[in-house]
Chain A
């Protein structure tokens, strides 16, 4: 591959003026739609003083929303990461009937509107459905209760880890795992000592993405929650309630927490991507070399 030399104008290069104009437009756009709102969130949140800000985020309703959000993420993320690992491993290592279907189905939550996903759960488990009714008879509430929120969150976040891990697992290949087994490792030892370290950055990346979506999900959760204050409110839902109550400062205070999560996610994403991309590229190159040698 020829090294790219930016100082040599290429035939396809645009004149400098055009380039500068394009960059300016992109940056202006970013400023208008990203940075200004971002600053506005914090400005609004702190508008009535730091004391008010902390009062807003430490109110009992707010704490309940934070607690529910954290709990939901604490269930959804490990579950989906385990699922993602298993699915990616199966897809990358084995040929089985229905493999293509599985790959497609994993993407389903991406293509279904979250609101519809929430409705699916209501239609399936609502109190007037056979399953929901039966559960209700046994004093188990799913819809309009925490389990529903957790279920809906799991549904909308389950592609993240799998999507991230499938290409990595495929490009890393199984030779190292086989080497581990021949050296006497059990399947579990090989998984822990060889497979996981080989995909760890992708795994972490998937976790970060999954977590940010789990904490930020609104649509699906909104449908199944029933908006019971201090009970079935996650942070995004609580923000909406506060906002509708004209408690703007409090709404923005809680929003600022979610915003900080988003920024932290972006930072983590930036660093993890730099780890993951070379890994996949390197593995792909190795594969090319092997194929060329074979």
Chain B
């Protein structure tokens, strides 16, 4: 089932939690809502589920208006951030819950319920824990019980709030891969919330980057990473150096240094304030200018521990700069703190955002 959100707005008192949200989720898609804590991801997910009512805007399921449809009638599965398992029920009863509360005419007989529950528990590899209580499970196991419980009612849409947020790194990795496989298997339209960019980029077909209740960019992981639409997205997805400057007549001025914006990627027409974004591995350190645009900087510190050497510098106009250099190149350069060098953006990756 496809989901469409039109001009969604949500406020809590004076606080605008969501503003002008427009989004389409295609059938069978695995979509990530990515953003910092407090950016409105959970609120948006709850609006899709019907647990929260938008102040304005529409929610469409499969093209039909569902804005006023009750939670029960939406046929969505919602996995809560802290699982919300029923503490007083066994794993089996938790998973069976959705089947047992069905109206009598739709409710399967108990034997059929048992069969389906065991099948789901096998799917999430937890059948041996059917008689345990939630308090006796690990975080990862609880997460999978929550997922099985949700899948039991065969929802048309699966909504997951920070599905791996409360787990430690190793379990998170495993569950992530497992969820991806599961999604490939059952192809259910899914939206998951995360504040972890790596998670979003690895799992999702498309990523929605949110900031302060607004959507900054919607795109494939490839697009949002390599062609970020805003300085925020650029900064949020991976390390980046942001230089504040101004645009004048097709050139970006950082302090007194002019950088051509012909090759600039993002919109940078007209004059005014602008931000230049440069990823640390897309800056070249050279010891003397070679005619191409470059700007002077002074080395502050060098950290060779790791796959790349991390060099901290300060640009002529005062901004701190981080540059990642390969070990070989670093040995060639033979630079130490205090050295005066020049920084040259590697050409095709120059992003300028007007602000």
Q: Which 8 A-B pairs have the closest CB atoms?
A: A183-B98, A175-B84, A179-B84, A185-B101, A197-B88, A182-B78, A189-B101, A181-B71
Q: Do most interface residues of chain B lie in helix, strand or loop, or is the interface mixed?
A: loop
Is B97 interfacial (CB-CB < 8 Å)?
yes
B97 touches A185 (CB 8 A): yes
Q: Measuring CB to CB, which residues of chain A are less than 8 angstroms from any residue of chain B? A: 175-176, 178-186, 189, 193-194, 197-198, 286, 290, 293-294
Q: Within 8 Å CB of B152, what residues of A?
A: 183
Residues of B within 8 A of A198 (CB): 87-88
Residues of B within 8 A of A186 (CB): 72, 101
Do most interface residues of chain A lie in helix, strand or loop, or is the interface mixed? helix
Report A64 CB to chain B, min CB distance, Å: 43
From known contacts A178-B80, A179-B80, A290-B82, infer whether A184 and B72 are also in contact, taking CB-CB under 8 Å. Answer: yes
Instruction: Chain B residues near A286: list those with CB within 8 A.
Output: 82
B131-171 interface code vs A (CB 8 A; 1 in, 0 out): 00000000000000000011011000000000001100000
Residues of A within 8 Å of B98, CB to CB, are 183-185
**B336 an interface residue at 8 Å Cβ cutoff?**
no
- Residues of A contacting B49 in the complex (Cβ-Cβ under 8 angstroms): 182
**Beta-carbon contacts under 8 Å, B44-88 to A:** 49, 51, 71-72, 76-78, 80-82, 84-88
Query: B residues touching A (Cβ–Cβ < 8 Å)?
Result: 37, 49, 51, 71-72, 76-78, 80-82, 84-88, 97-98, 101-102, 149-150, 152-153, 165-166
A181 touches B80 (CB 8 A): no
Interchain CB contact under 8 A, B51 and A182: yes
Contacts of A180 in B (CB 8 A): 86, 97, 101
Please indicate which of the listed interface residues B77, B78, B82 has the most CB atoms of chain A within 10 Å of its own CB: B82
Least distance between B280 CB and chain A CB atoms (Å): 30
Chain A residues whose C-beta falls within 8 Å of the C-beta of B80 in the assembled complex: 175, 178-179
The residues of A that contact B37 with a CB separation of less than 8 Å are: 294
Contact of B51 among A178, A290, A293 (CB under 8 A): A178
In the bound complex, residues from chain A placing their C-beta under 8 Å from that of B71 are 181-182
Q: How far is the CB of A294 from chain B (nearest CB, A)?
A: 7
Task: Give, as a whole number of angstroms, the nearest-CB distance from A196 to chain B.
Answer: 10
CA distance A293 to B51 in the complex (A): 22
Contact A178 B84, beta carbon cutoff 8 Å: yes
Query: What residues on A are CB-neighbors of B77 within 8 Å?
Result: 182
In the bound complex, CA of A10 to CA of B84 (Å) = 41
Query: Nearest chain A CB to B126's CB is how many angstroms away?
Result: 18
Q: Are B76 and A183 in contact, with the CB atoms below 8 A?
A: no
- In the assembled complex, the CB of A253 is this many whole angstroms from the nearest CB of chain B, namely 43
With A175-B80, A178-B51, A290-B82 as known contacts, state yes or no: A183 contacts B101, CB within 8 Å. Answer: yes
For the complex, give the distance between the alpha carbons of A8 and B200 in Å.
52
Measured between beta carbons, the chain B residues less than 8 angstroms from A175 are 80, 82, 84
A181 to B77, alpha carbons, bound, how many Å?
Answer: 10
Q: Which chain A residues lie closer than 8 Å to B86 at the CB level?
A: 176, 179-180, 193-194, 197
The answer to whether A182 and B76 touch across the interface, beta carbons within 8 angstroms, is yes
User: Is B88 touching A293 in the complex (CB atoms < 8 A)?
Assistant: no
**Minimum Cβ distance to chain A for residue B289 (Å):** 50
**Shortest distance from the beta carbon of B45 to any chain A beta carbon, whole Å:** 11
B196 to chain A, nearest CB (A): 13
Q: A175-B82, A178-B80, A293-B166 are in contact. Are A184 and B102 (CB under 8 A)?
A: yes
10 extra interchain contacts, Cβ-Cβ under 8 A, other than A183-B98, A290-B81? A175-B84, A176-B84, A176-B86, A178-B51, A179-B84, A182-B77, A184-B153, A185-B97, A186-B101, A198-B88
Q: Contact between B51 and A183 (Cβ–Cβ < 8 Å)?
A: no
Contacts of B101 in A (CB 8 A): 180, 183-186, 189, 193
Mind listing 25 A-B residue pairs with CB under 8 Å? A175-B80, A175-B82, A179-B78, A179-B80, A179-B86, A179-B149, A180-B97, A181-B71, A182-B49, A182-B71, A182-B72, A182-B76, A182-B77, A182-B150, A183-B101, A183-B150, A183-B152, A184-B101, A189-B101, A193-B86, A193-B97, A193-B101, A194-B86, A290-B81, A293-B165
B84 touches A183 (CB 8 A): no
Q: How far is the CA of A175 from the CA of B37 in the complex (A)?
A: 19
B6, chain A: closest CB distance, angstroms: 23
In the assembly, what is the distance between CA of A27 and CA of B84, in Å? 46
* A286 nearest in chain B by CB position: B82
